[in-house]
Amino acid sequence: MSIDSLPDEILDLMFERILFIEDVISCSKVCRHWWTLAQRRLNYVNYLIACVSVKDVCLYQGRKFIFYRADKSSYQYMRILPNLKIIDVEKSLDREEETIFLRALESRQKIKGLAYPYYEPEGPCKSMFLKHIEMFAPGYLNNNNDFVINLCSDTIRQLFFEDNYVAIDDIISKCKSLERIHIHHHEGARLMTYNGTPSESLQYLELDVTYFYCPDTCINKFIDVCPKLNSLFLRFSDTVYNFIPSKSHKSLENLVLEYYTRSKDPKPIKWTNIPIFLQKVPNLKNLAIRSCPGLKDIHIYDILTSCPNLKLLDLRGCSDINSESDTMINEIHQSKDYQIEILTGSYSKLPLHHHEKVVCQGFDFMKHIFHKSWKNIPLFLTHD
Protein backbone atom coordinates (compact mmCIF):
# COMPACT_ATOMS: atom_id res chain seq x y z
CA MET A 1 0.00 0.00 0.00
CA SER A 2 1.57 3.28 -1.11
CA ILE A 3 1.15 6.56 0.75
CA ASP A 4 -0.76 8.00 -2.22
CA SER A 5 -3.48 5.43 -1.74
CA LEU A 6 -4.47 7.14 1.52
CA PRO A 7 -7.46 9.50 1.32
CA ASP A 8 -6.71 13.21 1.12
CA GLU A 9 -8.19 13.78 4.58
CA ILE A 10 -5.40 11.65 6.07
CA LEU A 11 -2.74 13.20 3.88
CA ASP A 12 -3.91 16.68 4.88
CA LEU A 13 -3.47 15.74 8.54
CA MET A 14 0.02 14.48 7.78
CA PHE A 15 0.94 17.70 5.98
CA GLU A 16 -0.42 19.76 8.89
CA ARG A 17 2.22 18.11 11.06
CA ILE A 18 5.04 19.34 8.84
CA LEU A 19 6.22 22.23 10.96
CA PHE A 20 8.90 23.83 8.78
CA ILE A 21 8.06 25.70 5.62
CA GLU A 22 11.27 24.49 3.96
CA ASP A 23 10.05 20.90 4.41
CA VAL A 24 6.62 21.73 2.96
CA ILE A 25 8.32 23.25 -0.08
CA SER A 26 10.43 20.10 -0.51
CA CYS A 27 7.32 17.91 -0.31
CA SER A 28 5.58 20.04 -2.94
CA LYS A 29 8.22 19.02 -5.48
CA VAL A 30 7.51 15.28 -5.22
CA CYS A 31 4.51 15.23 -7.58
CA ARG A 32 1.47 17.26 -8.63
CA HIS A 33 -0.71 15.63 -5.96
CA TRP A 34 1.73 16.56 -3.21
CA TRP A 35 2.00 20.06 -4.65
CA THR A 36 -1.77 20.42 -4.13
CA LEU A 37 -1.51 19.12 -0.56
CA ALA A 38 1.35 21.52 0.15
CA GLN A 39 -0.67 24.47 -1.17
CA ARG A 40 -3.55 23.62 1.15
CA ARG A 41 -1.13 23.44 4.07
CA LEU A 42 0.35 26.86 3.21
CA ASN A 43 -3.07 28.44 2.68
CA TYR A 44 -3.96 27.79 6.33
CA VAL A 45 -0.88 29.59 7.67
CA ASN A 46 -1.43 32.88 9.52
CA TYR A 47 1.83 33.07 11.49
CA LEU A 48 5.37 32.64 10.17
CA ILE A 49 7.72 32.18 13.14
CA ALA A 50 11.51 31.98 13.32
CA CYS A 51 12.76 28.79 14.98
CA VAL A 52 15.75 29.59 17.17
CA SER A 53 15.68 26.24 19.00
CA VAL A 54 13.69 23.02 18.92
CA LYS A 55 11.88 24.13 22.08
CA ASP A 56 10.22 26.93 20.12
CA VAL A 57 8.27 24.46 18.00
CA CYS A 58 6.72 22.77 21.04
CA LEU A 59 5.08 26.03 22.15
CA TYR A 60 2.70 26.29 19.23
CA GLN A 61 -0.16 24.09 18.11
CA GLY A 62 -2.43 24.18 15.10
CA ARG A 63 -2.14 24.54 11.36
CA LYS A 64 -2.13 28.34 11.52
CA PHE A 65 1.52 28.28 12.58
CA ILE A 66 4.53 27.40 10.49
CA PHE A 67 8.24 27.84 11.19
CA TYR A 68 11.28 28.72 9.18
CA ARG A 69 14.87 28.02 10.13
CA ALA A 70 16.50 31.11 11.55
CA ASP A 71 19.41 31.05 9.08
CA LYS A 72 16.93 31.63 6.25
CA SER A 73 15.29 34.90 5.15
CA SER A 74 11.61 34.94 6.06
CA TYR A 75 10.61 37.52 3.44
CA GLN A 76 11.29 34.98 0.70
CA TYR A 77 8.30 32.93 1.88
CA MET A 78 5.74 35.75 1.92
CA ARG A 79 4.59 35.16 -1.65
CA ILE A 80 3.59 31.53 -0.99
CA LEU A 81 1.61 32.33 2.18
CA PRO A 82 -1.51 34.09 0.90
CA ASN A 83 -3.19 34.37 4.35
CA LEU A 84 -0.17 35.42 6.37
CA LYS A 85 -1.05 37.78 9.26
CA ILE A 86 2.13 37.97 11.37
CA ILE A 87 5.73 37.63 10.24
CA ASP A 88 8.69 37.20 12.58
CA VAL A 89 11.96 38.37 11.00
CA GLU A 90 14.91 36.79 12.78
CA LYS A 91 17.75 37.35 10.34
CA SER A 92 19.14 40.81 9.73
CA LEU A 93 18.66 41.94 6.12
CA ASP A 94 21.06 43.97 4.05
CA ARG A 95 19.86 47.20 2.43
CA GLU A 96 18.76 45.57 -0.81
CA GLU A 97 16.94 42.73 0.95
CA GLU A 98 15.26 45.14 3.31
CA THR A 99 13.98 47.25 0.43
CA ILE A 100 12.52 44.17 -1.28
CA PHE A 101 10.97 42.98 1.96
CA LEU A 102 9.30 46.26 2.87
CA ARG A 103 8.03 46.83 -0.65
CA ALA A 104 6.45 43.38 -0.55
CA LEU A 105 5.06 44.07 2.92
CA GLU A 106 3.45 47.30 1.75
CA SER A 107 1.38 45.38 -0.79
CA ARG A 108 0.27 42.63 1.63
CA GLN A 109 -2.74 44.14 3.35
CA LYS A 110 -3.53 40.94 5.29
CA ILE A 111 -0.28 41.16 7.26
CA LYS A 112 -1.10 42.85 10.57
CA GLY A 113 1.93 42.04 12.72
CA LEU A 114 5.65 42.58 12.20
CA ALA A 115 8.50 41.59 14.54
CA TYR A 116 11.53 43.19 12.94
CA PRO A 117 14.33 44.53 15.16
CA TYR A 118 16.80 45.38 12.38
CA TYR A 119 15.19 48.32 10.59
CA GLU A 120 17.69 50.65 8.90
CA PRO A 121 16.63 54.31 8.92
CA GLU A 122 18.03 55.21 5.51
CA GLY A 123 17.32 54.55 1.87
CA PRO A 124 14.18 54.39 -0.29
CA CYS A 125 12.09 52.76 2.44
CA LYS A 126 11.57 56.18 4.00
CA SER A 127 8.75 56.73 1.54
CA MET A 128 6.85 53.68 2.79
CA PHE A 129 3.58 53.93 4.69
CA LEU A 130 2.31 50.66 6.15
CA LYS A 131 -1.33 51.49 6.80
CA HIS A 132 -2.27 47.90 7.63
CA ILE A 133 0.28 47.09 10.37
CA GLU A 134 -1.43 46.82 13.78
CA MET A 135 1.23 44.97 15.84
CA PHE A 136 4.86 46.06 15.73
CA ALA A 137 7.92 44.86 17.64
CA PRO A 138 10.80 47.03 16.41
CA GLY A 139 13.32 45.88 19.00
CA TYR A 140 16.11 48.28 19.91
CA LEU A 141 15.49 51.80 18.63
CA ASN A 142 17.21 55.12 18.97
CA ASN A 143 16.65 58.70 17.86
CA ASN A 144 17.47 57.84 14.25
CA ASN A 145 14.61 55.36 14.07
CA ASP A 146 11.74 57.60 15.07
CA PHE A 147 10.38 57.80 11.53
CA VAL A 148 9.64 54.07 11.53
CA ILE A 149 6.63 54.62 13.78
CA ASN A 150 5.31 57.18 11.32
CA LEU A 151 5.04 54.37 8.76
CA CYS A 152 2.09 52.88 10.58
CA SER A 153 1.14 55.21 13.44
CA ASP A 154 -2.49 55.51 12.37
CA THR A 155 -3.21 51.80 12.76
CA ILE A 156 -0.80 50.54 15.44
CA ARG A 157 -2.63 48.77 18.27
CA GLN A 158 0.31 46.98 19.95
CA LEU A 159 3.93 48.06 20.44
CA PHE A 160 6.59 45.81 21.95
CA PHE A 161 9.89 47.57 22.62
CA GLU A 162 12.98 45.63 23.64
CA ASP A 163 14.73 48.65 25.04
CA ASN A 164 13.92 52.14 26.18
CA TYR A 165 13.00 54.53 23.42
CA VAL A 166 13.96 58.10 24.26
CA ALA A 167 10.91 59.57 22.52
CA ILE A 168 8.36 57.06 23.80
CA ASP A 169 5.96 59.83 24.80
CA ASP A 170 6.06 61.19 21.23
CA ILE A 171 5.33 57.74 19.85
CA ILE A 172 2.36 57.23 22.17
CA SER A 173 0.96 60.59 21.16
CA LYS A 174 1.21 59.66 17.47
CA CYS A 175 -0.34 56.20 17.81
CA LYS A 176 -3.96 57.04 18.51
CA SER A 177 -5.22 53.43 18.44
CA LEU A 178 -2.79 51.88 20.93
CA GLU A 179 -4.28 49.09 23.02
CA ARG A 180 -1.09 47.58 24.42
CA ILE A 181 2.45 48.78 25.15
CA HIS A 182 5.33 46.64 26.39
CA ILE A 183 8.73 48.14 27.25
CA HIS A 184 11.10 45.35 28.13
CA HIS A 185 13.92 47.48 29.61
CA HIS A 186 12.83 51.00 30.48
CA GLU A 187 15.80 53.21 31.35
CA GLY A 188 14.52 56.70 30.61
CA ALA A 189 12.21 59.18 32.23
CA ARG A 190 9.86 60.07 29.38
CA LEU A 191 6.92 58.17 30.86
CA MET A 192 7.74 59.48 34.31
CA THR A 193 7.16 63.06 33.10
CA TYR A 194 4.64 62.30 30.38
CA ASN A 195 3.19 65.41 28.77
CA GLY A 196 1.67 63.86 25.66
CA THR A 197 -1.94 63.57 24.66
CA PRO A 198 -4.23 61.21 26.61
CA SER A 199 -4.06 57.59 25.53
CA GLU A 200 -7.78 56.94 25.29
CA SER A 201 -7.51 53.41 23.87
CA LEU A 202 -4.69 51.90 25.97
CA GLN A 203 -5.81 48.79 27.86
CA TYR A 204 -2.59 46.87 28.66
CA LEU A 205 0.69 48.34 29.91
CA GLU A 206 3.76 46.22 30.71
CA LEU A 207 6.79 48.10 31.99
CA ASP A 208 10.15 47.13 33.45
CA VAL A 209 11.66 49.92 35.57
CA THR A 210 14.40 47.82 37.17
CA TYR A 211 17.06 49.54 35.07
CA PHE A 212 15.86 53.02 35.91
CA TYR A 213 17.29 54.23 39.19
CA CYS A 214 15.42 57.10 40.75
CA PRO A 215 14.38 57.60 44.37
CA ASP A 216 10.98 58.80 43.19
CA THR A 217 10.32 56.28 40.43
CA CYS A 218 6.70 56.47 39.39
CA ILE A 219 4.63 56.52 36.22
CA ASN A 220 1.44 57.89 37.72
CA LYS A 221 1.45 60.90 35.39
CA PHE A 222 1.17 58.61 32.39
CA ILE A 223 -1.31 56.25 34.04
CA ASP A 224 -3.56 59.17 34.87
CA VAL A 225 -4.13 59.88 31.15
CA CYS A 226 -5.07 56.26 30.38
CA PRO A 227 -8.73 56.14 31.41
CA LYS A 228 -9.36 52.69 29.89
CA LEU A 229 -6.29 50.96 31.34
CA ASN A 230 -7.47 47.51 32.36
CA SER A 231 -4.25 45.59 33.05
CA LEU A 232 -0.83 46.62 34.36
CA PHE A 233 2.34 44.52 34.68
CA LEU A 234 5.07 46.40 36.53
CA ARG A 235 8.51 44.91 37.14
CA PHE A 236 10.49 46.86 39.70
CA SER A 237 13.57 46.53 41.90
CA ASP A 238 13.43 49.41 44.39
CA THR A 239 12.60 48.23 47.89
CA VAL A 240 10.76 51.52 48.44
CA TYR A 241 7.73 51.06 46.22
CA ASN A 242 6.83 54.57 45.08
CA PHE A 243 4.28 53.93 42.35
CA ILE A 244 1.18 55.55 43.83
CA PRO A 245 -1.39 56.90 41.35
CA SER A 246 -2.58 60.41 42.05
CA LYS A 247 -6.21 59.51 41.47
CA SER A 248 -8.55 56.53 41.55
CA HIS A 249 -8.42 54.16 38.56
CA LYS A 250 -11.72 52.32 38.38
CA SER A 251 -10.95 50.62 35.06
CA LEU A 252 -7.90 48.70 36.35
CA GLU A 253 -8.88 45.08 37.06
CA ASN A 254 -5.63 43.12 36.63
CA LEU A 255 -2.33 44.01 38.28
CA VAL A 256 1.05 42.26 38.45
CA LEU A 257 3.84 43.63 40.65
CA GLU A 258 6.94 41.52 40.07
CA TYR A 259 9.95 42.28 42.19
CA TYR A 260 13.34 41.64 40.62
CA THR A 261 16.83 42.10 42.01
CA ARG A 262 20.31 41.05 40.96
CA SER A 263 21.36 40.70 44.58
CA LYS A 264 21.72 37.24 46.07
CA ASP A 265 20.58 38.66 49.40
CA PRO A 266 17.76 41.10 48.54
CA LYS A 267 16.58 43.61 51.09
CA PRO A 268 12.96 43.29 52.26
CA ILE A 269 10.51 45.48 50.39
CA LYS A 270 8.96 48.31 52.41
CA TRP A 271 5.27 47.52 52.55
CA THR A 272 3.83 50.92 53.48
CA ASN A 273 3.04 52.31 50.01
CA ILE A 274 1.53 49.19 48.42
CA PRO A 275 -1.75 49.26 50.40
CA ILE A 276 -2.08 52.96 49.53
CA PHE A 277 -1.72 52.07 45.86
CA LEU A 278 -4.25 49.24 46.11
CA GLN A 279 -6.81 51.62 47.56
CA LYS A 280 -6.55 53.62 44.31
CA VAL A 281 -7.80 50.66 42.26
CA PRO A 282 -11.17 49.79 43.85
CA ASN A 283 -12.30 47.39 41.11
CA LEU A 284 -9.19 45.21 41.12
CA LYS A 285 -10.10 41.55 40.53
CA ASN A 286 -6.75 39.81 39.94
CA LEU A 287 -3.58 40.77 41.81
CA ALA A 288 -0.09 39.28 41.73
CA ILE A 289 2.67 40.43 44.07
CA ARG A 290 5.44 38.01 43.19
CA SER A 291 8.94 37.33 44.47
CA CYS A 292 8.78 40.15 47.01
CA PRO A 293 11.13 39.66 49.98
CA GLY A 294 9.61 40.87 53.22
CA LEU A 295 6.00 40.25 52.19
CA LYS A 296 4.53 38.48 55.22
CA ASP A 297 1.35 36.67 56.20
CA ILE A 298 0.03 39.71 58.04
CA HIS A 299 0.11 41.70 54.79
CA ILE A 300 -2.50 39.40 53.24
CA TYR A 301 -5.08 40.99 55.50
CA ASP A 302 -4.07 44.46 54.26
CA ILE A 303 -4.41 43.31 50.67
CA LEU A 304 -7.81 41.68 51.03
CA THR A 305 -9.28 44.57 53.00
CA SER A 306 -7.92 47.10 50.45
CA CYS A 307 -9.35 45.15 47.49
CA PRO A 308 -13.02 44.31 48.19
CA ASN A 309 -13.60 42.83 44.70
CA LEU A 310 -10.52 40.62 44.56
CA LYS A 311 -10.99 37.11 43.13
CA LEU A 312 -7.38 35.96 42.63
CA LEU A 313 -4.29 36.75 44.70
CA ASP A 314 -0.96 35.42 43.45
CA LEU A 315 1.83 35.55 46.06
CA ARG A 316 4.12 32.96 44.52
CA GLY A 317 7.82 33.44 45.08
CA CYS A 318 7.32 35.38 48.32
CA SER A 319 9.50 33.35 50.65
CA ASP A 320 8.09 34.82 53.88
CA ILE A 321 4.54 33.60 53.08
CA ASN A 322 3.94 30.21 54.72
CA SER A 323 1.19 27.82 55.77
CA GLU A 324 0.35 29.93 58.83
CA SER A 325 -1.54 32.25 56.52
CA ASP A 326 -4.21 29.57 55.91
CA THR A 327 -6.02 30.40 59.15
CA MET A 328 -6.19 34.08 58.26
CA ILE A 329 -7.40 33.28 54.75
CA ASN A 330 -10.17 31.03 56.10
CA GLU A 331 -11.31 33.74 58.49
CA ILE A 332 -11.53 36.27 55.64
CA HIS A 333 -13.39 33.76 53.47
CA GLN A 334 -15.98 33.29 56.20
CA SER A 335 -16.62 37.03 56.29
CA LYS A 336 -17.24 37.21 52.51
CA ASP A 337 -19.92 35.85 50.22
CA TYR A 338 -17.39 34.36 47.79
CA GLN A 339 -14.06 32.55 47.81
CA ILE A 340 -10.76 34.20 46.88
CA GLU A 341 -8.20 31.99 45.14
CA ILE A 342 -4.77 32.51 46.69
CA LEU A 343 -1.61 31.12 45.10
CA THR A 344 1.52 30.66 47.22
CA GLY A 345 4.71 28.63 47.03
CA SER A 346 7.47 28.56 44.44
CA TYR A 347 7.30 30.44 41.18
CA SER A 348 9.12 29.09 38.13
CA LYS A 349 11.17 31.57 36.13
CA LEU A 350 12.51 29.47 33.31
CA PRO A 351 12.33 31.35 29.99
CA LEU A 352 12.57 29.02 27.03
CA HIS A 353 14.38 31.71 25.11
CA HIS A 354 14.14 35.48 25.16
CA HIS A 355 10.36 35.49 24.80
CA GLU A 356 8.22 32.43 25.27
CA LYS A 357 6.13 33.14 22.19
CA VAL A 358 5.98 35.58 19.34
CA VAL A 359 2.19 35.45 19.24
CA CYS A 360 -0.65 34.18 21.42
CA GLN A 361 -4.14 33.84 20.00
CA GLY A 362 -6.66 35.94 21.88
CA PHE A 363 -6.37 39.46 23.31
CA ASP A 364 -6.51 38.16 26.86
CA PHE A 365 -4.22 39.49 29.61
CA MET A 366 -5.25 36.91 32.20
CA LYS A 367 -4.70 33.96 29.88
CA HIS A 368 -1.45 34.98 28.20
CA ILE A 369 0.35 37.45 30.50
CA PHE A 370 -0.81 37.48 34.14
CA HIS A 371 0.60 34.08 35.13
CA LYS A 372 3.90 34.44 33.28
CA SER A 373 7.21 35.77 34.47
CA TRP A 374 8.48 38.90 32.76
CA LYS A 375 10.75 37.16 30.26
CA ASN A 376 7.96 34.87 29.09
CA ILE A 377 5.54 37.58 27.96
CA PRO A 378 4.67 37.18 24.24
CA LEU A 379 5.33 39.85 21.64
CA PHE A 380 1.77 39.97 20.30
CA LEU A 381 -1.74 39.06 21.38
CA THR A 382 -4.13 38.61 18.47
CA HIS A 383 -7.84 39.39 18.46
CA ASP A 384 -8.58 35.96 16.93
* Residue 354 lies inside a defined structural domain of this protein: no
| Number of domains within the chain | 1
* Residue 245 lies inside a defined structural domain of this protein: yes
CA distance 239 to 313: 21
pLDDT digits (tens, 9 = 90+) for 307-344: 888 999 998 888 777 656 666 666 666 666 667 888 88
Burial of 275 by CB count in 10 Å (0-12 exposed, 13-18 middle, 19+ buried)? middle
* Residue 323 lies inside a defined structural domain of this protein: yes
CA distance 286 to 290: 13
* Residue 256 lies inside a defined structural domain of this protein: yes
Query: In Å, what is the CA distance from 138 to each residue of 7, 171, 208, 303?
Result: 44, 13, 17, 38
Most confident option among 34-43, 234-243, 326-335? 34-43
Q: Which letter does DSSP use for residue 270 in this model?
A: B
Q: Is 40 helix (H, G, I), strand (E, B) or coil?
A: helix
The half-sphere exposure of 3 on its side-chain side, counting CA atoms within 13 A, is 11
* Residue 259 lies inside a defined structural domain of this protein: yes
pLDDT digits (tens, 9 = 90+) for 116-161: 765 554 544 454 567 788 998 876 655 545 555 666 677 889 988 8
* Residue 17 lies inside a defined structural domain of this protein: no
Mean per-residue pLDDT for 199-226?
Answer: 75
* Residue 62 lies inside a defined structural domain of this protein: no
- Expressed as residue numbers, the domain containing 268 is 230-347
Is 76 a residue whose pLDDT tops 70?
yes
Burial of 149 by CB count in 10 Å (0-12 exposed, 13-18 middle, 19+ buried)? buried
**pLDDT on residue 216:** 47
